[in-house]
Structures are given as C-alpha cells and as structure tokens.
Amino acid sequence: MKAPRLPSPFRNVRHAPRNFTFRSSHVDGRAMRWKQRKEALESEVQGAEDDAPRKLRFRQFAGPGLDRETRVQATRSARRRAMLRSFAILLVLLYAAWRGLLWVETTDFAREYLLPPGP
C-alpha cells in the first residue's frame, strides 16, 4: 500500500492544477430571452435572403395606460410626488437644525460658541 500524497506548497509544473468550475442550476431569464431573440433574428435574416420585401411592423398602442396622454399625466404626477417628497425632507432638516440651535443655546455650549467673551 502506498502512502497518501500530501499536497505540496510549491507548484508542480508537470501536472495541471485542479480547477473548480461552478455550474449553476439556476436558469437566467435574461439569457433565455436573449437566446430566443437571437434565434428569431437569425431566422428572420435567413428568411430575408430571397430578395422579397420584408413586412414593416408597427407597435399598436392598445390597452390602458399606453397612450401619450396617460404617459404624460403619469410623468407629471411622478414629478409632483418627487417635489413634495423633497419639500418634506427639507422641512424635516430645517426643523432638526432649529431644534439643534435651541439645544446649543440652552446648554453650556452657548457660552463657548455663541456668546462673546466677557471682560
């Protein structure tokens, strides 16, 4: 019986090092969509080689929320909410600064920082 071989701290040039490759069982949805899109484009290009005019396809904005007026209204309301949120944050910060000034005036820090030195 042979003795077990211990791994050497030095690199052995004669043998390739062991590599670990992780193969995930998770299927990425983006990769699948990209593959399907690529296959569809390749089949479309292969089908267009016969000098036949290709059909132009236009998107039909059918359904709720897809017309221009609805999108503009949604953008305006999102801007309004963002402005109100910013204003609320500003009010909270101003209130915190005001309370901080009141605290400094009522503690011993007022003598050191706010009042001029005495005679």
| 108's tokens | 């011993």
Q: What is the pTM of this model?
A: 0.38
Query: What are the residue ranges spanned by the domains of the chain?
Result: 85-119
| Long-range own/partner contacts, residues 9-12 (CB < 8 A, 24 or more apart) | none
Residue 65 reports pLDDT greater than 60: no
pLDDT in tens, 72-116: 888 999 999 999 999 999 999 999 999 998 888 888 766 666 656
